[in-house]
A and B are shown apart, each in its own frame.
Chain A
Amino acid sequence: MSFRRKLLLLFALTVAVSVAAVAWLVSAMTRRAFQLTNDQRTAALVTQFQRQFAQQGDEIARRVELIAGSEPISRMAAAVERSPGDLGGYFDMTRSLAEGYRLDFLEFVDSKGTIISSAQWPAKFGYPESAFANFSAWANQPAFLKHEELQDSAALGLFAVRTARVGEHPLYVIGGRRLDKSFLSALDLPADIRALLYQNRGDHFSPEWVIDPTANSTIVRLPEKLAPLIDAVRQENREMSVVVHWTGNKADDELFHAFPLRGADKDRAVLAILLVANSRRGWVELERRIRDSAMLVGGGGILLAVILGSWAAARVTRPVEQLAMAAQDVAGGNWNARVEVSGHDEVAQLADSFNRMTAELLTQKERLVQAERVAAWRELARRLAHELKNPLFPLQLTVENLLRARQSGPQQFEEIFNESSTTLLAEISNLKTIVSRFSEFSKMPQPQMESVQINDLVRGVAQLFQAQFEAPGRPAIQCKLELANGIEPIAADPQLLHRALSNLVLNAMDAMPQGGALTLRTLRRYDKVAIEIADTGSGLTREECERIFTPYYTSKQHGTGLGLAIVQSVVSDHGGTISVSSEPGRGTTFVIELLMGKEKLQTIAAKDSPAKVSASGGLG
C-alpha cells in the first residue's frame, strides 16, 4: 500500500471515528437528558396527581358535608330518630342528591350500619354496610381511597364520611367519586405522557381492571403487557419502572413508572396502581435523527476527508515520491536526477539535501572517473613502457652490436649481422603483437542481441574446454556444471558472451596449474540471471581483487591485463555486472549478473523471425 493510500485511509478513519465518537457522545447525552426530563415530568405528574387527588378528596368531603347538612337529610335524620324502622320512603333519595351534588357514590347509613339508601346500588337498602367497622372513626376524616362493590362489578373511588345528627342516633352520609377515565382525563398531562390506573383486585393481574383513557389509540396496546410490572408492584409494594414494548416499532415503546396507591385502613393495602407512561417516541426519533445525521455527516466527512486527504496527501507525498523516483534514477545510474524543492519544510530540506547529495556524488564520480582515467593512462603508459621496453632493449643491444660489428671482420660482421637481424625481426614481431593486442582491445564490437539460453551457452563453453581439462601432460581439471532449471532465455550476444566466459575459464585454468575443480553454475536471482565460474586455484589477494578488472593489470607473469577487462567490457555492454570473490589458496569465484530483459526479448521477437531466435538459442 502506497504512502498516499495510507494517509487517505488514516484521514478517513480519523473522520469516521471522530463522527462516531461525537454521535455516541451526543446520543448518550441526549439519552441522559431525556431520562432526566422524563424523571422530572413523571415526578411532576405524580405531584400533580397527588394534588388533584387531594383536591378531589377535599371537594368530595365538602360535598358530602353539604349533603349531611342539608335540610332533607336533617328531616331524614329526624325521621330516623323518630321511627327508625320506617325508612322505606327514603330509599331512592340518594340518587337525586348524588346527581345534584355530582357524586358517583352516595349512601345513607343509620347508626346500626344499615343502608337506608344507596345511589350506586339502590337495591341494597336494608343491608349492612360492611366496608366500615366503626363509622364514627371515619367521620370527619379526609377523603380516602376505597373499593366499592357494585351490582355486577366493583369500582375504585375517593370517599368521605360525614355525620348528620339530630338526636341520639347519627345518620352517616358516605359519598364519593369514581376514579375512572374521566378522573384520569381531567389530569393536565404533558404531551407524550399518559396516566393509567390499575384497580388492584383479585390475586392476579386482569386486563379488565386497567383504566386507560387512551385505549382508543391507533396503537394496539394489549393490557396484558403490563402484567409483569403490575404483579411486581403488587408483590413488592413499591414504586417500579419498566419499558413496555407495545409493537415492533421502538418508537411506540413507553417507559412506565408504577406507583402503588394505598387505602386508609390499618393494613394500608394497595388498592390501585398509578401508571405513568412516558412515550419514548421523541427520544427514539431523536436518536434516529442523530444516527442518520451522524451517518450523513460521517459519510460526507469521509468523502470530504478522501478529497481533502487526497489533496493533502498529494501535497505531502509528491516531494517524497519525487525523492523516491529520483533515488530510483540515481540507483539506475542517472546521477543527474534532481528533485524540485518547494517550501521550507522538512521534506523540502530533504529534497535539497538529496539534490546536494547527488550533485556531490556526481562531482565525486567525475573526480573518480578522472582519477581512474589518469590512473588508467598511467597504467597504460606503464604497461606500454613495460611492453615496449622489453623489445626495445634487445633492439638497442642488437643495433649496438651491429655498430660494434662494423669494426670487426666481415665474416664476424656477417654472423653478427645475421643474428642481429634475426633478433631485430623477432623483437619487431613482438612489438607488432603488442600493438595488435591493444588494437584488438580498442576494437571491441557492440553486442548483437539475440535470445540466448544461458544454460546452453555455459554448457557449450564447458564442452569447448573439455579436451584441455583432460589434456595429457598436465594435471586434470574436473569441470562441474550446476545449471538451474527454468531459466528463461535472455537478450544477449552469444559470441561476446561465449568469449567472456571462455576468458574466465582460461583464467581459471591458469589459476589451477596443479589441477583442481572448475564449477560452472547458473542461478536465477529475481529479474537477473547469475553465472558463477568458480575454481579451486591459488586465489587472489584483496588488492588483486580490487584491481583485477583494470585494463592492462595482470597478476600473471606473461599476461597482457586485457582478458578480464574485455570480460568486464562485454558484461557491461550487456547491462550486467561482474564481481569477484576470492581467498588466497582456496580459489576464486567470478559472478556475472545479467538482466532478464523481457522488453528486449519482445523487441527481438518482433524484429526477428522465430526460426532465427530458435537457431541462436543454442551455441553448441
Chain B
Amino acid sequence: MRRFVWLWLAISSLVGAQCALSETRPQYGGTLHVSLHAAPGSLDPASATDSFELRNLTSLLFETMVETDDAGRLRPGLSSSWQSGSNQRRWQFRLRRGIKFHDGTLLTAEGAAAALRAANPAWRVLSEADQVIIELDAPNATFPAELALRRHAIVKRNSDGSLAGTGPFHISDWQPGKKLSLAAEESYWRGRPFVDAIEIELGKNTHDQQLAFELGRAQLIDVPAEQVHRDAMAGYHAISSQPIELLALVFTREAQSPEEKALREALALSIERSSIRNVLLQGTGQPTASILPNWMNGYGFVFPTDANLSAARHAREQVRATPAWTISYDAGDGLSRLIAERVTLNARDAELNLQPTSNSSADVRLARIPLTSDARSALVEVARAADLPMPKIASDSADDLYTAESAMLSSRRLIPLFHLPVNYACAATVKACQVSSSGAWNLQNVWLGPPKP
C-alpha cells in the first residue's frame, strides 16, 4: 500500500511537470481574435492619422529600416547597419539580404529607396548594391531615429493600389474600418509568428469589446484609460505601457497678442488636472504640464500641474475683453468630450469664455498625440502634430531637451494635460502578451495556450 502511494505520487509529479512544461513552451497555431475601438480606413503608414492602434496594426505588416527599443535606443531593422559621413548629411544604410515582400519579391536597396522617396520626397535617396544612401539638405545627427518612425516604413505599392510589406503577417482580408484578417508570413525573416492568423474587429465600442472579451470571442482588446481601473477590479489581465500618449489642448494658431497669450496662460492655470485624473481618468495617467513624460525626460516635475485659480483670474483680469473660444474634441471619444467639458467648466471659473464643440474648426482642440520612446523624435512628432515650429535639439542631453521643450511651450500654443498609457486586456489563453513602454504590442511573439484550469 505504501509503495502504491509513492508510485502514485511519482506518476502525478511527472504528469504535473509535463503539463507545466507544455504551458511555458510556445505553441504554433491558432487564431488570435482582437477587438479594437479604432476604425482606421487605411493601413498605409504614410497616412496622416497617427495613433497607437494604427502604429501597432501597421507594425504587423510593415517594417522600418531602423527600430527603437523600449528605452528609445536605436537598433537595426531592415538595415543591418548604418553610418554617416563627417558632415552628417549623407547617411548609408546597409540592407539585410534575403528579405522578401509578402508578394514574394525580394526587398532590394532600390525598392527600399523607392519607398523612402515616396515617404519623404524632400530626401535624395540613392541605392548602391545593398546600400541605401540618403542625402539631406542639412546635417542631422539623429537622422536614423527618423527612419524608425512609422511613416517611413518600407512599403511596396503595387499598381493595383495594394500594399505589400515585409512584416510578420500579411493581409488576407481587409474591410476598411470594420475588419482586418492577417495570416502569418511563413518566410518572415525573423521567424514565423506563433499564431496562424489574427482576426481584428475594428470600430467596436467599449461595451461590445468587454462583452466579446468576456464571452471569449475576443482575446485581446484595447482598454480606454478611464476603464483600466474598473477592468482591473473586474479581474481583467490588463497590460499597459508607460504614459506615452500626450493629451493636450492645442490652439489652432499662434497667440496674436500678449493679451491672448495671457488668456491662454489663465486657461492653463485654471485646469484642475487632479480632479480630472481622479474622476474622469479613474486614477490612470499622469497629469502633466510638459510635453515629454517624466519617465522619458526626468524633469517633467519641474512644470507645475496644479490649478491656480487666483493666478488664472489675475491673468485674466489683465485683459480687458475676453474672446469667446471654442474647444473641439473627437466626437467618437467619450473621454475627450468629458475632459473638454470639464476644461470648459474650469475656464468659466477663471471667467474665460470657452464653449465645447465637435466642430473641427475650433479655436482650441483637445488632441491625443502619440509619442515615441525616443525623446527627440517625440518632440518632433508633437511639433508636427501641433503644427509648431520644428524644435532645435542639439543633443539628447536633458538640458537641450528642456530648452527645446520650454521653447515649444512658451508660445502657449500647446497646453499639456496628461500623459496616458496604452492599455490592453489579454485573455489568459494569450501567452507572452506584452506591450512595450512605447505602447507597441508584440503579437508576432504571442502564442495561444490552453486556459488555466
Contacts and interface: CB of A to CB of B under 8 A. Distances in A.
B402 to A, nearest CB: 33
B341 A151 contact: yes
A484 to B, nearest CB: 105
A125 B279 contact: yes
Nearest to A123: B341
Interface string A107-143: 0000000000000011111110000000000000000
A125 B338 CA distance: 11
Interface of B: 229, 272, 275, 278-280, 282-283, 338-339, 341-342, 344-345, 355-356
A79 to B, nearest CB: 14
A125 B275 CA distance: 9
Contacts of A124: 345
B354 to A, nearest CB: 11
A125 B356 CA distance: 17
A88 B282 contact: yes
A152 B356 contact: yes
Contact of A91 (B272, B279, B356): B279
A121 B279 contact: no
A89 interface: yes
A271 B425 CA distance: 50
Contacts of B279: 88, 91, 125-126
A121 B341 CA distance: 9
Contacts of B282: 88-89
B280 A151 contact: no
Given A88-B279, A122-B341, A123-B342, 11 more contacts: A88-B278, A88-B283, A89-B229, A91-B279, A123-B344, A125-B275, A126-B272, A126-B275, A151-B341, A151-B344, A152-B355
B338 A122 contact: yes
B418 to A, nearest CB: 15
The prevalent SS among residues of B at the interface is helix
Interface string A525-560: 000000000000000000000000000000000000
A88 B339 CA distance: 14
Interface in A145-185: 151-152
Contacts, number: 30
A233 to B, nearest CB: 31
Contacts of B229: 89
7 closest pairs, A vs B, by CB? A123-B341, A88-B279, A123-B342, A88-B278, A91-B279, A125-B279, A123-B338
A126 B272 CA distance: 11
Given A122-B338, A123-B338, A127-B345, A151 B278 contact: no
Contact of B345 (A88, A89, A91, A123): A123
Contacts of A151: 341, 344, 356
A152 B354 CA distance: 10
A121 B348 CA distance: 15
Contacts of A89: 229, 282
Contacts of B338: 122-123
Nearest to A152: B355
A89 B277 CA distance: 11
Nearest to B341: A123
Contacts of B355: 152
B366 to A, nearest CB: 12
Nearest to B280: A91
A239 B355 CA distance: 38
A175 B127 CA distance: 71
Nearest to A116: B279
B306 to A, nearest CB: 15
6 contacts: A122-B338, A123-B338, A125-B275, A126-B275, A127-B345, A151-B344
Contacts of B278: 88
Interface string A88-110: 11010000000000000000000
Nearest to A121: B341
A320 to B, nearest CB: 94
A428 B278 CA distance: 175
A125 B342 CA distance: 9
Nearest to B342: A123
A152 B339 CA distance: 15
B346 to A, nearest CB: 9
Nearest to B283: A88
A121 B280 CA distance: 13
A152 B341 CA distance: 10
Nearest to A87: B279
Contacts of A123: 280, 338-339, 341-342, 344-345
Contacts of A152: 355-356
B185 to A, nearest CB: 43
A530 B345 CA distance: 119
B297 to A, nearest CB: 28
A121 to B, nearest CB: 7
Interface-central residue, B279, B341, B344, by most chain A CB under 10 Å = B279
A257 to B, nearest CB: 37
A188 B280 CA distance: 43
A88 B272 CA distance: 14
Contacts of A88: 278-279, 282-283
A205 B356 CA distance: 26
Contacts of A122: 338, 341
Contacts of A91: 279-280
Interface in A364-423: none
A91 B341 CA distance: 14
Nearest to B275: A126
Nearest to A151: B341
Contacts of A125: 275, 279
A128 to B, nearest CB: 12
Interface centre among A88, A122, A124 (most CB of B within 10 A): A88
